[in-house]
Amino acid sequence: MELPDFPWDRLAPAKRTAAVHPDGLVDLSIGTPVDPTPVVVQRALAAAADAPGYPTTIGSPELRAAMAAWCTQRLGAAVGIDGVLPSIGSKELVAWLPTLLGVGAGDTVVVPELAYPTYDVGVRLAGAELVRADSTTALGPRSPALVWINSPSNPTGRVLPPEHLAKVVAWARERDAIVVSDECYIELGWETEPVSVLHPDVCHGDHHGVLAVHSLSKRSNLAGYRAGFVAGDPALIKRLLEVRKHAGMIVPAPVQAAMVAALGDQEHVAEQRERYRRRREVLRAAIGAAGFTVEQSDAGLYLWATRGDDCWAAVDFLAERGILVAPGEFYGPTGGRHVRIALTATDERVDAAAARLTAQK
C-alpha cells in the first residue's frame, strides 16, 4: 500500500521564510484551535478523572443521550440512541470508515473534487479506487460502494443546499451505495446556514444508508481531547460498533464525560462563533486589500482565496510577509490556483497579519 507524503511537510521552506519576519510568524496553515477549552468541559473531564475500568465503545448512557439530543436539537434529525456512536476524534473515523464498513479491493469510493486529504488516505487503506466528483452526473453508470460529501467544505467553505444533498442521497440509494457526510463545521455557517444530510428535507426522515460525521474540535476547542461521533443509520452504526469493539477503538471515559458537557452547553459555542466571526471579517478585508479574491467560503474555518496565479507563488508571497497558509493543491488537482487561510489564530496574530497585508496597498 502506497500512502501519499504528509502534505504539510512540504510547507517547511515557506514556514522557515515566514518565521524570520521581525514581528514573528502568523500561522494560518492548519486549522488547530488556539482558544481555551470551555471551563464547563474542563470541569467535567476532571470530575471523571478517576476511571480505573474500561469504558464502553458504544459510549456511556449519558453520552449516547447527549449525542442523540444534540442531533435532534441542532440538526433537526431524530436519530435516537441507536443511531449514534462516539469516535476518537473525527480524523481516525474518516481514515478508517471505508475499511470498517467493508469497502475493499474492487470497490469505488467517491470524494469531492476538492477534499480533506484523509478521504484519499482512507480509500487507500481500504484498497479501493478513488474517484473525485462533485456531481453524480459526472459518474455515469458507476455504482460506488461509498460516497463522501463534505458540507461545509474543507477547504472551500462551500455549503451544499438541501436539494443537492437530497439528489445525492437518492442517487446513492438507487445504487445501494452508502452516503457519508462530513459535517464537522456545521455550526460555523456565516453567509449560508448548513443543513445536515440527516435532516428530513434531505432524506425524508429515513436514515437508511446515510451517516454524518461530527466533531467537537472546532465548536468546543476539544481538538486535544479527540472527541467526535458518527450518527445516522442504526444498522450501519451497529456494523461500525462491532468492528470498533474488536479493534479497541474506544473513547476514554473522562473524554466521554467531557463530551456530555460540551454537547449540552451552547453558550460556549456562541462565544467561539463570535471569535471566529471577528477574525474572519478582519482577514477577509485584509486579504482583499492584498489583491486576493475570496471565493465560496460561506461557512467553516477557512478563507479560500486566489490571486489567479499558482498556489505556491501565493504561499511564497504571504510567507515573505510572515504569514503561513496552505496551498490549494493539497486538497486536489483543481486547487492549484488557491490558498486556504485558516481563522485559527489569536486575535493578536490575526491583527498582525492584517496589518502586514494592508500595508502592501
Confidence (pLDDT) at 360? 59
Same domain, 31 and 53: no
pLDDT average, residue stretch 288-296: 96
Same domain, 330 and 307: yes
The amino acid occupying position 235 is A
Confidence (pLDDT) at 260? 98
CA-CA-CA-CA dihedral for 61, 62, 64, 66, to nearest 10: 160
- The domain spanning residue 294 has which CATH number? 3.90.1150.10
Of the candidates 199, 204, 105, 205, the one whose C-alpha atom is nearest the C-alpha of residue 160 is 199
Q: What confidence tens digit (pLDDT) does each residue in 305-329 have?
A: 999 999 999 999 999 999 999 999 9
DSSP letter for each residue of 55-103: PPTT--HHHHHHHHHHIIIII-----GGGEEEESTTHHHHHHHHHHTT-
Same domain, 272 and 254: no
Same domain, 125 and 27: no
pLDDT average, residue stretch 345-351: 97
Same domain, 189 and 321: no
pLDDT average, residue stretch 109-116: 95
Same domain, 33 and 43: no
Of the candidates 34, 27, 21, the one whose C-alpha atom is nearest the C-alpha of residue 356 is 21
Q: Are 259 and 86 in contact (CB under 8 A)?
A: yes
52 cis-preceded (ω within 30 degrees of 0): no
Same domain, 65 and 85: yes
Confidence (pLDDT) at 2? 72
Same domain, 139 and 103: yes
Q: Out of 264, 297, 316, pick the residue that ends a domain.
A: 264
Helices (H) and strands (E) in the chain — how many of each? 13, 13
CA distance 223 to 240: 22
Q: Out of 207, 232, 264, pick the residue that ends a domain.
A: 264
The amino acid occupying position 181 is S
Same domain, 238 and 286: no
Is 2 a domain residue? no
Q: What confidence tens digit (pLDDT) does each residue in 195-242 have?
A: 999 999 999 999 999 999 999 999 999 999 999 999 999 999 999 999
pLDDT average, residue stretch 45-49: 98
Percent of the chain past pLDDT 90, that is, above it, reads: 93
Same domain, 112 and 212: yes
Q: Out of 264, 285, 300, pick the residue that ends a domain.
A: 264
Q: What is the pLDDT confidence band of residue 6, given thresholds at 50, 70 and 90?
A: confident
Same domain, 208 and 193: yes
Is 134 a domain residue? yes
pTM reported for the whole predicted model? 0.95
Number of Cβ within 10 Å of residue 2's Cβ equals 4
CA distance 14 to 121: 25
Same domain, 224 and 339: no
Please count the residues of the chain. Answer: 361
CA distance 14 to 343: 19
Q: What confidence tens digit (pLDDT) does each residue in 67-108 have?
A: 999 999 999 999 999 999 999 999 999 999 999 999 999 999
Q: At what angle do helices 234-247 and 91-100 cross, to 10 degrees?
A: 100
Question: Domain range spanning residue 133?
Answer: 39-264
Is 353 a domain residue? yes
